[in-house]
A and B are shown apart, each in its own frame.
Chain A
Amino acid sequence: MIVLGMESSAHTFGVGIVDNGKVLANEKAMYRIGTAGMIPGEVARFHAENAAEVLGMALEKAGISNNEIEGIGYTMGPGLGPCLEVAQLSAKTVAKKLGVPIVPVNHCAAHAEIARHFGRLADPIMLYVSGGNSQILVLEERPYLHYVVLGETFDIGVGNMLDSFARKLKLEPAWGSSIEKHSQGGRYIELPYTVKGMDFSFTGLATRATELIGEERLSDLCFSIQETAFSALCEATERAMLLKNKREIGICGGVAQNRKLREMLEEVGREHDAKFGFAPDEFNADNGGMVAYLAERMIGSGIKSRLEDCGIRQKYRVDTARLG
């Protein structure tokens, strides 16, 4: 089945096309965040202006025409309201025009499922790390296929924490990558480390690291904030894996592009003979391909939605999303 997916929950407007689990196109336009962060209305305007072009690019890349599309998926949430509206409206318009089924997709579940696909993981403990989210997920089949949250951040997502810190250092906030770049050669300085069981917290860490700006070397700060935050994520993931008796670890979401975090998690896996897997970077950043991928499976398993029930949910919890 050829399914088109649309994503616009944050800074990226993405369109993906899949056919029978194979991603034919994954095109996107990304709003440049700069130093001001995201103003939802402005980002939404950016998405609206780029929607048609990205859609056209995806169709061209996949080499298909409009009327070959057999189903549509779009990100229902979680995300920024005005941004989410753009993919929702575009998807509904296309679905109505073509008369094909449409399903609303949970953004976090889409990240996790595409990582499971590319990472060739059957039943992993999945660490989902992005700007706004940091969660440890595991699949559960009853009463229907869905992800359960085993642990998560008490306050902010690890990506936003690193980005706000980068901004305070006057570095370009690029999804944690500027912190990673400047952490080369740093020494470890003591910072607050908070893990409670499988949950974790990052605000205390961010506050203390900010206080130390000017007192400590830049590379030491970057190295230590990253090391502390990632260690917390690894510890919680490790605990979840042992508790649930799993033999696989996956990582997904924007921060999954971070090499250092991937190396650390791979080490956790090695210690327990667990397989480690993840998706290529273009699928870790927000994208439409993952939405199309999950939507195809949902439609295939018989999940149906009426056009009038397709809205947005800014706080759509992953554990309430039915996947099959």
Chain B
Amino acid sequence: MDNSKVIGVGAEARLSLINLFGSDIVVKERLPKKYRAKELDLRIRKERTKNEARIMFRISRAGIRCPRIVALGRFSIYMERLEGVLLKDKKISNKEIAESGRILGSMHSLDIVHGDFTPANLISDNSGKIYVIDFGLAEMTRSEEEKAVDLLLMKRYLKRNLYRLFEDSYSKTYNDSEKILRRLVEVEKRGRYQTRTLA
């Protein structure tokens, strides 16, 4: 499309901004990789696009804020553009962190893990509402381990008192949170996670 502008390139997808009938639309397109066999390449891109869209539909149906999907291609998701600022680019308020905890709690109640739940994937709009973005690594799973890793990413990123708030609001939202928090202790004890934070 002529009026499309690339706004970001990730490991597997390209984000571009287009204008459709007067509104800004973000297109996330999974690009082909020359290094892998064509059949595998098609399968990975198709499956992941479908999986990502399905998860976005499911969580928005449950009232969690994420970009609204306006159209779906074989390898592309067309979604509304959000106004706001990434939590990683601002001083995070207590209200915003509590809301983020509530969001993750609700997602885990639905047995959805995000896979990369960090302030780089949370957007605060001007009225203080929080949106989750980038479900490229998200999955439907009951795995306590993977839910614990969602928490761990936030724990590593946030200052202690802010994380405490996050965890409190997560626990209030999610009935099985105790199990996940116990699992988190285990995960942190394991060498790979401990030593990875050496730096």
Instruction: Give the interface of A toward B (CB within 8 A).
Output: 140, 142-143, 146, 148-149, 152, 188, 190, 193, 196-197, 227-228, 231, 234-235, 238-239, 242-243, 264-265, 267-268, 271, 315, 317, 319-320
Contact = CB atoms under 8 A, between A and B. Distances in A.
Contacts of A143: 198-199
A179 to B, nearest CB: 15
A264 B198 contact: no
B196 A239 contact: no
A265 B35 contact: yes
A102 B177 CA distance: 50
Contacts of B195: 149, 317, 319-320
Contacts, number: 72
B160 interface: no
A235 B198 contact: no
A315 B34 CA distance: 36
Contact of A320 (B12, B38, B40, B198): B198
Contacts of A271: 33-35
28 contacts: A140-B198, A140-B199, A142-B199, A146-B199, A149-B195, A188-B37, A188-B39, A190-B39, A193-B40, A196-B137, A197-B115, A227-B36, A231-B37, A231-B40, A231-B44, A234-B33, A234-B35, A235-B12, A235-B33, A238-B33, A239-B11, A242-B10, A243-B11, A267-B35, A268-B35, A271-B35, A320-B195, A320-B198
A228 B40 contact: yes
B187 to A, nearest CB: 13
Contacts of A319: 195-196, 198
B191 interface: yes
Interface string B25-39: 000000001111111
A188 B40 contact: yes
B52 interface: no
Interface of B: 9-12, 33-40, 43-44, 115-116, 137, 191-192, 195-196, 198-199
A267 B43 CA distance: 20
Contacts of A231: 33, 35-37, 40, 44
B34 A235 contact: no
Contacts of B35: 231, 234, 264-265, 267-268, 271
A243 B33 CA distance: 18
Given A188-B37, A231-B37, A238 B11 contact: yes
Contacts of A267: 34-35
Contacts of A190: 39, 43
Contacts of B198: 140, 143, 146, 148, 319-320
Contacts of B39: 188, 190
Given A265-B35, A317-B191, 15 more contacts: A142-B199, A188-B37, A190-B43, A193-B43, A227-B36, A228-B40, A235-B33, A239-B12, A243-B11, A264-B36, A271-B33, A315-B191, A317-B192, A319-B195, A320-B198
